[in-house]
Structure 1
């Protein structure tokens, strides 16, 4: 079995590697916990994200939804198509801008938002309440700082 080179052994000792692993594990744990709850409402995580983003608004363009949800443009189109099929959202073309499309919750979509959003926030809150307000703020500041270095 070949011996690792000095440079690969040194790279493996970088102090940020355990941080990367813990960040990935934390995201995976959060995602699994969150996604399992959302799926109980017959929604995918992406569909929930769109409904939650459109809730309490008059609707948004696809571009605005993409920015707020971080769902890629190609994926977002399919997600919105499936929400249209479920009759939870509708696409509207404003009279004053025929090239624009606004996605809005339907009455059924608003009802789903009113049911699912508070239930999901309460579900996630159960876990975040295990951290103190000071810990939450420290975590927020550090994650924001980490995001900015990239």
Structure 2
């Protein structure tokens, strides 16, 4: 018990930094997801539509890399987006076992109706920081990419 108290005390700054970081991340995501949820999409559905809209046709694994979601979840997300006519599957000419996903006109219309409000929401979230602070924060956070 005494060793744990000592360990906590010795690492107080690291532990409190993690708590502050996690609380900030949770608040940012809650605020970010407001505009997504208002559109009737889940954050994962929005992520798939947004990446297909901005990057063009992609394979499922490429989408997973870009939106940082799990394979179990992405399959259901893609199936639902396809069922709603927002994306379509095309056979991959180089690999018959895989498919390439593309956004439909209906999907483009939906994402184009959401993005302006979503981008404005992101802008509002980060208004608490100056441009200089945003750059510093990005540079600090990039230090964690190789963990």
Structure 1 segment 70-81 matched on structure 2, within 5 A:
70-81=68-79
- Superposition pairs for residues 1-150 of structure 1, below 5 Å? 5-13=1-9, 14=11, 15-148=13-146, 150=147
1:74-104 CA-to-partner distances (Å, cap 9, x unmatched) read: 1111111111111111111133432221111
Q: Whole-Å Cα distance in 2 between the matches of residues 32 and 38 of structure 1?
A: 10
Q: Which runs of 5+ in 2 are unaligned?
A: none
TM-score, normalisation: structure 1:
0.91
8 Å contact kept, 2:85–2:107: yes
Q: CA deviation at 1:64?
A: 0.2
Unaligned runs of 5+ in 1: none
More helix by share: 2
Residues 104-148 of structure 1: CA distance to partner in whole angstroms, max 9, x if unpaired?
A: 101100111211122201111012122111100110011111333
Normalised by the length of structure 2, the TM-score is 0.92
Deviation string 1:30-80 (CA, Å, 9 cap, x unpaired) is: 111111221000000111111111113331000100000111111111111
| More displaced stretch, 23-32 vs 121-130 | 121-130
Number of aligned positions between the proteins: 145
Higher RCO (C-alpha 8 Å, min separation 6) = 2
User: Higher strand fraction: Structure 1 or Structure 2?
Assistant: 2
CA distance in 2 between partners of 1:94 and 1:18 (Å): 49
Q: Distance in 2 between matches of 1:64 and 1:129?
A: 32
